[in-house]
């Protein structure tokens, strides 16, 4: 970990301007938070700052407000929830920058928390507008980025303001960079990557980068269909990226024995939770059926490859895990990883993290990333703007 962290700063009497990831899922009807994992993930950083004499100012985006401020995406819901999780006073201001936000920040005392309104209510945020960054910088003395899930975005609150204040990593950011960094730079071997999800096109860079580093890549999910089609198998009505077939062939040629594909598939006669389903070898997908999960022989094959692994990175489900019938492959992989002895298991955010939580196995993994897109770009070897902007040790 080459970046400075909150432990490198004397916080007594200082205002910490902290970028957190409070982009939590909300119930469409009630607006209530349905999963507070991202808020809880920020608690160690917030508590450390409070314990060391700082006043803490938090900023985050929430959802994708289209035309400026939208009450259903107000961060007040996150501020109210945070107040139930810590003993410090939590205040909220309905502005992100400007006189009202400055007055609230100025009045904040050590040991208190202020939550700013949704950064994306200001259209300058996603443009990384320097005037917005300067307005944010007025609010604090030191900038802390603890939002790994947004670190791949060069926005005013993730990159712009970090150029204007002393800028350090929070504990969550440090943990993400340490686990993912060690996996890529100095993994204990055997090092195995498991990749799933719908599309190859989303993960071309990741596969290319990992092929130079891993001992095996196990591929499931919709992206496996495209690889199988590239090998000449008829995939019926399965999702296949026809414009990525040449890319798949190139990756298979480059990957050689490192890439492991399904040997059987759980197929369905419709894309529906109650569809008829059966297991078939990869060369026997019926014309009008579609692959929605890996089959039991593939699970066994992947289990053999994972036996004895010392480092595993998993990004993307093995099938349509929202449908219980087609979640068997994803949950089987989760169980296999939970049972590995002496291995570092890293779950790369997004749907994989959701599946691990749904399976109740989060505490059995070494690290569950809070950033889907950010962890993908990190695994691809891309420098994340929100990380690059932090001060080096």
- Write out the catalytic residue numbers: 38, 199, 350, 373
* Other CB atoms within 10 A of residue 342 CB: 8
Please enumerate in sequence order all residues whose Cβ is within 8 A of that of 341, keeping only pairs 6 or more positions apart, or say none: none
Please enumerate in sequence order all residues whose Cβ is within 8 A of that of 230, keeping only pairs 6 or more positions apart, or say none: 245, 246, 248, 249, 252
Q: For 368, what's the count of Cα atoms within 13 Å in the CB-facing half-sphere?
A: 21
CA end-to-end span of the chain, whole Å? 9
What is d(CA 214, CA 44) in angstroms, rounded to the nearest whole number?
Answer: 32
Cα-flanking dihedrals φ and ψ of residue 83, to 5°?
Answer: -60, -25
Helices (H), the chain: 37-51, 76-85, 99-107, 130-137, 171-185, 204-211, 221-230, 245-255, 296-306, 328-338, 350-358, 372-379, 385-388
- Asked if residues 376 and 206 have their Cβ atoms less than 8 Å apart, the reply is yes
Helix (H) or strand (E) holding 18: strand 15-19
If we measure between CA atoms, which residue out of 246, 258, 359, 375 comes closest to residue 316?
375
If we measure between CA atoms, which residue out of 314, 358, 335, 301 comes closest to residue 221?
314
- Asked if residues 156 and 125 have their Cβ atoms less than 8 Å apart, the reply is yes
DSSP letters spanning 280-330: EEGGG--TT-EEEEE-HHHHHHHHHHHTT-SEEEEES-SS-TTSGGG-HHH
Q: What is the largest CA-CA distance in the chain?
A: 69
């Amino acid at each position: 970990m080459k970046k400075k962290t909150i432990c490198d700063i004397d916080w007594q009497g200082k205002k910490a301007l902290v970028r957190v990831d409070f982009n939590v899922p909300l119930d469409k009807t009630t607006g209530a938070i349905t999963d507070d994992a991202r808020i809880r993930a920020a608690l160690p950083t917030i508590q450390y700052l409070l314990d060391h004499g700082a006043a803490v100012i938090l900023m985050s985006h929430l959802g994708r407000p289209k035309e400026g401020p939208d009450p259903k995406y107000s961060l007040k819901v996150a501020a109210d929830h945070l107040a139930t999780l810590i003993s410090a006073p939590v205040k909220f201001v309905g502005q992100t920058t400007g006189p009202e936000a400055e007055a609230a920040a100025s009045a904040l005392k050590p040991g208190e928390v202020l939550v700013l309104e949704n950064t994306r209510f200001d259209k300058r945020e996603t443009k990384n507008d320097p005037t917005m960054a300067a307005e944010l910088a007025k609010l604090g003395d030191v900038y802390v980025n603890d939002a790994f899930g947004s670190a791949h975005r060069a926005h005013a609150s993730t990159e712009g303001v970090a150029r204007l204040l002393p800028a350090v990593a929070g504990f969550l950011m440090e943990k993400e960079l340490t686990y993912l960094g060690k996996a890529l730079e100095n993994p204990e071997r055997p090092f195995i990557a498991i990749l799933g999800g719908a599309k190859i096109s989303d993960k071309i860079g990741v596969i290319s980068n990992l092929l130079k580093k891993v001992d095996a890549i196990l591929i499931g999910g919709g992206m496996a269909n495209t690889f199988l089609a590239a090998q000449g198998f008829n995939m019926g009505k399965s999702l296949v990226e026809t414009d990525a077939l040449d890319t798949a062939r190139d990756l298979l040629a480059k990957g050689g024995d490192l890439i492991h594909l399904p040997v059987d598939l759980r197929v369905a006669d419709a894309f529906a939770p109650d569809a008829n389903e059966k297991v078939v070898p990869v060369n026997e997908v019926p014309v009008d059926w579609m692959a929605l999960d890996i089959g039991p022989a593939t699970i066994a094959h992947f289990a053999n490859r994972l036996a004895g692994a010392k480092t595993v990175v998993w990004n993307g489900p093995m099938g349509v895990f929202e449908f219980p019938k087609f979640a068997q492959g994803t949950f089987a992989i989760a169980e296999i990883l939970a049972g590995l002895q002496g291995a570092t298991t890293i779950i790369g955010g997004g749907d994989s993290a959701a599946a691990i939580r749904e399976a109740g196995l989060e505490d059995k993994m070494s690290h569950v990333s809070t950033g889907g897109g950010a962890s993908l770009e990190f695994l691809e070897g891309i420098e994340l703007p929100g990380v690059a902007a932090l001060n080096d040790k």
